[in-house]
Structure 1
Amino acid sequence: MSTVAVRSASLPPAIPGLVRRFRQPKKNIPQTKQDRDFVLQAVREYAEQTKLVPPVPIDELQVHTDKIMALNGIEKIYRDYTGVLLANETWRESLATVPFEKRLLLMPKCLRIESKCPAPFDEFGLLCKQCGLCSIQDFQNEAEKLGYAVLVAEGSAIVMSLIQTGKIEAIVGISCLPVLERTFPYVEAAAIPAVAVPLLQDDCIDTTVDVDWVWDYIHLTSEDKTRRLNLNDLHEEVKTWFTPEALEALLGKPSCQTEQIARERLGRAGKRWRPFLTIAAYQALREDPEAPISDDLKLAAISVEAFHKASLIHDDIEDNDAERYGEPTLHSEYGIPVALNVGDLLIGEGYRLLAEMKCASHIRSACLKVAAEGQRELCRGQGAELLWNNHPVALSNTQVLEIFRSKTAPAFEVALKIGAAMAGQLEETAEALHSYSENLGIAYQIRDDLDDLGDDSAADNNVSIRPSIILALLRERGKGEVKEIMEALWNGQANTLPDKPTIRRWAEESGAYDKSTLMLETYKEAAIRSLQEVELPNLKGLLRRVIGKIFNELEIKGWCREFEQKNANPELREQAAKAAEHLVPNAAAVA
């Protein structure tokens, strides 16, 4: 038996993905959330470059849609879908300027679970009973709290009547592609800001939608001064602080070989999400989100990365990993004693940087306390996993999630809270940032599990047992021989270790992969929900966008090889760009 008690994590509040079966999108909708997010990002980048002025006539919209598809290798079957997203983006800035109380949220009744929905209808549509079985309740409650008028009904007549009263100046809608196609002329004629998130099915029963997209449009407001802040540029700027020259300018020259090794590890390749989060939180809470970033802020961000790199060095030792990011781990290169010492040095360096900031003493104190509390919680989570390793037993998926909460979420929380502390608003935001970080951290670790399992390039392609959501779900859902092998693997009794392609195949066949994907979306949505009580538009808006930024850039290697190869090939992308030049005048200027 295991000597460590791993308490079960609590799942977020009921979310549609957890109470209904997974539904495959219709064929003319990109089949995975990753692919849909890719299309949306491509559309947004194009809309930002071209500055289309709405309302855009349908024929012109189709020309621009064709160009986007050609530039990004988007399949022709997704033309209508891509066009809807482009139409939305042309109205985005206009929608942001309309007060919430002048907006209508229009939802279809088919979002409900028809066989279980207790809601009656009146002449205006469905009267939600707040049963919690579908997303209608959440959308309605949040929209009404903001001041929206809300309708759960179909048909353009009632909408046009509301528009004609002058009380409604913008619409946020959810609908299927056929309905959107029929209503486009009405919206174009009315010339009012209107965005519509496409349903993933069009069979009018138990339909689903990308919840985070709806949430984004519901909350879009010009009061959010960060909405024009380019997160890609901000992320790239943060990365420049970790070049050898930049680190030396901020931290001084290393004074010994140990410090040189630590500095080199700090500057090695990484995603830099944690320092990015520190700066993002600060930018959201400062008066001018686009003002220059001070050296104090840079030191705070670098300290967060120092803590993170130290945890990776120690984690590699504890897991006996020979490689990270395709390169030898520090202990493989220098031995365990040196690696332990360098990790400890980086922790000390992180605290030194915070202590030497020139900001007010109470801000320094708050940052140091946040870092210490996060370090303590991270060690508790890692300790639970290490003690479990001594006497492995099968873990349920909720127990795995609890380990994720303890060992991954604290780093995100430290990053965000240090940014809030630097802006002088930690006390006002601490509770929301805690909840947001927990859900973001769990979602990130689930995605990391999927990413790791899809990476066949590692030195060891066999799967070793560790707290993994895919492996936990595969043990629970596997049948026959698969279940027997997973039980033996979890209990440390397996004679041979299956390789990653085998685990991937089992996960797909058993539904463990689909379930993991649903859980990923659940925790992303829960992170967004945690911002409901935040009354700071900048923070709400930016943190919602941060989720999209982080998860759009992550890749699941090996699961979607054909899609990845097509879009990663620079020659194919260049050919597509040239082929698209004839579609729009002056295409070269916006390509």
Structure 2
Amino acid sequence: MRAALNRNVSSKVSFLSTVGGTSLELERIPPTKAERERLRALSADIVASWSCEGLPAEIKQHNGLRLKAQELVSRVKADPSFVGWTMVTILSEVWRYRIASAAAGQRLLLLPDCPLAREPVKEKNCPSVCGPSCGLGTIWSAAHDNGWVVDSTRSAATAIGSLMSGQYQGILGVARLKDLEKAYGMLPAFSFPVAAVPYQHLDESEVKGCSCDVALLNAGIDVEWVLSLLGVAGGSPGPVGDYLPLLREASELFSETSIAKLADRFHLGEGFGSSFSVGQTKSFEPISSLSVTGNLAGEFLGRGGKFLRPFVTLAAYDSLCADLSKQKNVSGSKPVGRETARAAAVSIEIFHKASLVHDDIEDGDVVRYGRPTVHVEHGIPAAINIGDYLVGAGYRLIAGLEGPASLRSDLLKILADAHVRLARGQGAELWWREADNEVTSAESLEIYGLKTSPAFEAAVAMGIRLAGLQPHDLLQVSRYSLHVGTGFQVLNDLKDWQGDLENDRRVAGDVLGGRPTVMWALALENLDDRGREELLRIKAACSTQQSDTSEETAAAIQTAKKLYRSAGVFSKAAEIVANERQLAADAIRDCDYSSLREVLEFLLDLAVPQQAIDDLLVAESDA
């Protein structure tokens, strides 16, 4: 099927002429999700029927696509005004596999602003979202993690031009029908890989009082459908749509209202989660000085991120509860109530955010979640104090959970163990930065295991314990988490070197500035004496640069990249990621609890997607 549909079909018929002279702006989007799903299913079936012989000649003729769409609409006795939407859906099915074959960084996703977004973002190429649980934000995160470049639908015309110039190999656009008409009118039909999810603009009166989920559905944006396209095109085999409600629930735990309620329930301190504008000057403080630390800590807790750790805890808890309900004579304690599980899930994110505040200081990072880091915004002393406050709030939350004392003791042990190992890993990295001798690749992987894996392990282990079992009695949680965390970190290191380093020197500068990454270690281990000397000279030169935007630094980074490639660093690192993924999969293969195993497989696909590994290996083989 893919081979047949991936052929470039020569055609002089444009998208506009294909619709038979009828403006898509006059067409309508099916108003209900059920109608949209029915027409999508028929579109997928008809495209599948073309897999052997390729696109029928009549489809490429004037009015051919419109006639086929009319046939499908008539078959389900739908409104004839849905024909334009169905045409776009058929075209998207034609191209989805071609887009799937595009390399990471060469797939472009265009997203609109959320109908509930209060104000546009400053960056013209970024879509606006309504908050941490925004469906469009979920799409953005999934796309970003699977190698997509994300831009605003406002840039659709420019993006189409980039496709024609070869900058991108495929585009998926979530756009209004009239915008699709303007942008796609530039293209010969069936000749360029473009998929789309049309939606309709909603007036302010139409979204008043609606939740984000309802507003997006009313606009015709089915988040699960967009995620499924990303899953196919991005190669993520995990059933993202199945976990979407839980992903949203985890995000909503960190809304301002939810944080304030939790703070009141568990006595997390005066001001924690209350409304506060960080832009206020000190001459007019809206809160007392005794409340400011708790307020800033609560604000940072809900500021941003994927909230993946609380999702993992809740997913492990829910899935294991479902598995246990099907079995008899299971040893262990009773599961806690779900509200208790939700509160415990918040604690893992609190500890994570505390570590970020401190790590940003130690690593010298200046941006987090698109804003200045806490120490840049409020100063290092205040930031240290905010991080410490979050640590205390996390332990206070656990101490106040309902349930037997043994439960709280077990959860505290899980979190304290993760806390100690994380500090050991960060301490090892800080020590190596100052050491004269260089870290080996084996040592760097051990540091990764200490820095990244404890958070994964704690999130899974907490969910298992909340469901009533002891993690060590169930499966090899530690081994699974070690390999997921290590693979995740090495993959991130690899991603740092993808794309245009001219516009992202900071990350590469960190690598060259002495952070003990496995890629740096692999380079030193595999270069000859001359290459090692040159790489060490580059490191010394970068560490003395006053500005990370200098032309000298940019040139040094490009030279380092060539040295990395000559030493086979990128391919070796990709092989490490593939091996870590396999070891993680092996660790859970014998898990007797099928629902829990599916959650852990989904987490593995999310953290270390196979497609990302394949993309990197292909890129290196072509280099």
TM range (shorter): 0.5 to 0.7
Instruction: Quote the residue 1:138 is aligned against.
Output: none
Task: Check 1:295–1:268 CA distance in 2 against 1; reply closer, same or farther (3 A cut).
Answer: same
Amino acid at match of 2:409: S
| 3-state SS of 1:425 partner | coil
Q: CA RMSD in A?
A: 4.4
- Matching residue of 1:59: 49
- Name the counterpart of 2:254: 242
Spell out the pairing of 1:31-430 with structure 2 (5 A cutoff): 59=49, 67-71=92-96, 74=99, 230-252=242-264, 254=271, 256-287=291-322, 294-427=338-471, 429=473
SS at match of 1:394: coil
Distance in 1 (CA, whole Å) between partners of 2:568 and 2:596 is 36
Give, in angstroms, the shift of residue 292 of structure 1.
13
Change in CA separation of 1:76 and 1:515 when aligned onto 2, cut-off 3 Å: closer
Equivalence for 1:575:
none
User: What do residues 386-437 of structure 1 show as CA deviations (whole Å, max 9, x unaligned)?
Assistant: 2222324211211100000111111111111111111111245465111111
- What's the CA shift for 1:250? 2.2
Aligned to 1:580: none
Q: How many residues align?
A: 377
Give the distance between the partners of 1:306 and 1:503, measured in 2 at CA: 38
Determine the C-alpha separation between the residues in 1 that align with 2:101 and 2:433: 49
Tell me the alpha carbon deviations over residues 74-105 of structure 1, each in whole angstroms, 9 at most, x when there is no partner.
27899xxxxxxxxxxxxxxxxxxxxxxxxxxx
Distance 2:460 2:578 in 1: 21
Q: Contact 1:475/1:483 (CA < 8 Å) preserved in 2?
A: yes
Match of 2:532 among 466, 483, 486: 483
The alpha carbon displacement at 1:49 in A equals 9.5
Partners of 2:95 and 2:359 lie apart in 1 by 44
Give CA-to-partner distance per residue, 1:158-185, whole Å, 9 cap, x none. xxxxxxxxxxxxxxxxxxxxxxxxxxxx
Query: Helix, strand or coil for the counterpart of 1:466?
Result: coil
Counterparts of 1:477 and 1:77, CA distance in 2: 31
CA contact (8 A) 2:47 2:94 kept: no
**Separation (CA, whole Å) in 2 of partners of 1:391 and 1:472:** 14
Task: Tell me the SS of whatever aligns to 2:95.
Answer: helix
Question: 1 CA distance for matches of 2:347 and 2:252?
Answer: 15
Task: Establish whether residue 520 from structure 1 lines up as the match of residue 569 from structure 2.
Answer: no
User: What's the CA shift for 1:273?
Assistant: 1.8
Deviation at 1:362, TM superposition (A): 2.1
1:267-311, CA deviations, whole angstroms, 9 ceiling, x for partnerless residues? 111122211211121122112799998321221111101111111
Cα distance, 1:501–1:212 mapped onto 2, change above 3 Å: same
Give the CA deviation at 1:447: 1.6
Q: How does 1:7-18 map to 2 (within 5 A)?
A: none
Secondary structure of residue in 2 paired with 1:250: helix
Do structure 1's residue 549 and structure 2's residue 606 form an aligned pair? yes
- Indicate how the Cα distance of structure 1 residues 28 and 279 shifts in structure 2: closer, same or farther if over 3 A, else same: farther
SS state at 1:287 partner: helix
Relative to structure 1, the CA distance from residue 539 to residue 460 in structure 2 (aligned partners, 3 Å threshold; closer, same or farther) is closer
Matched residues in 2 for 1:519 and 1:29: separation? 34
| 1:542-583, Cα deviation, whole Å (9 max, x unpaired) | 211221123449989x989x9xxxxxxxxxxxxxxxxxxxxx
Task: Work out the CA distance in 2 between the residues paired with 1:493 and 1:75.
Answer: 38
Taking structure 1 as reference, are residues 54 and 321 closer, same or farther at Cα in structure 2, changes over 3 Å only? closer
Question: Structure 1 regions of 5+ residues with no counterpart?
Answer: 1-25, 31-45, 79-210, 217-226, 563-591
TM-score (norm 1): 0.55
Residue 136 of structure 2 corresponds to which residue in structure 1?
Answer: none
TM-score by length of 2: 0.53
Q: Helix, strand or coil: the match of 2:522?
A: helix
SS in 1 for 2:306: coil
Structure 1 position 329, deviation (Å): 1.6
**1:511 maps to amino acid:** G
The code of the aligned residue for 1:74 comes to: I
Runs of 5+ consecutive residues of structure 2 not aligned to the other structure? 7-35, 56-88, 104-234, 265-269, 273-290, 326-334, 546-551
Q: Residue 431 of structure 2 aligns to which amino acid in structure 1?
A: L
Paired residue type of 1:522: N
Contact 1:397 1:472 in 2 (8 A): yes
1:514 maps to a residue whose letter is S
Q: Equivalents in 1 of 2:495, 2:38: separation in Å?
A: 30
Q: Which secondary structure state, in structure 2, belongs to the residue aligned with residue 530 of structure 1?
A: helix
Separation in 2, partners of 1:72, 1:247: 42
| Alpha-carbon distance between aligned partners in 2 of 1:554 and 1:354, rounded to the nearest angstrom | 38
Q: CA deviation at 1:314?
A: 1.0
Q: Structure 1 CA distance, aligned partners of 2:577 and 2:5?
A: 20
Q: Deviation string for 1:316-337 (max 9, x for gaps)?
A: 1222222234422211222221
1:261 offset after TM fit, Å? 0.7
Name the structure 2 match of 1:529: 586
Give the Cα–Cα distance (whole angstroms) in 2 for the partners of residues 545 and 511 of structure 1: 30
1:332-385 deviation per Cα after TM superposition (whole angstroms, max 9, x unaligned):
222221111111111111111111111333222211111111111111111112
Residues 71/383 of structure 1: CA separation in 2 closer, same or farther (3 Å cut): same
Of 520-529 and 380-389, the range deviating more from structure 2: 380-389
Q: Which residue of 2 aligns with 1:90?
A: none
Partner of 2:160: none
SS at match of 2:516: coil
Change (3 A) 1:236 1:77: closer
1:28, 1:61 → 2: CA distance? 6
Distance in 1 between residues matched to 2:380 and 2:586, nearest whole Å: 43
1:182-216 Cα offsets, whole Å, 9 max, x none, are xxxxxxxxxxxxxxxxxxxxxxxxxxxxx997xx9
The percentage of counterpart residues that share the same residue type is 29
Deviation at 1:528, TM superposition (A): 0.7
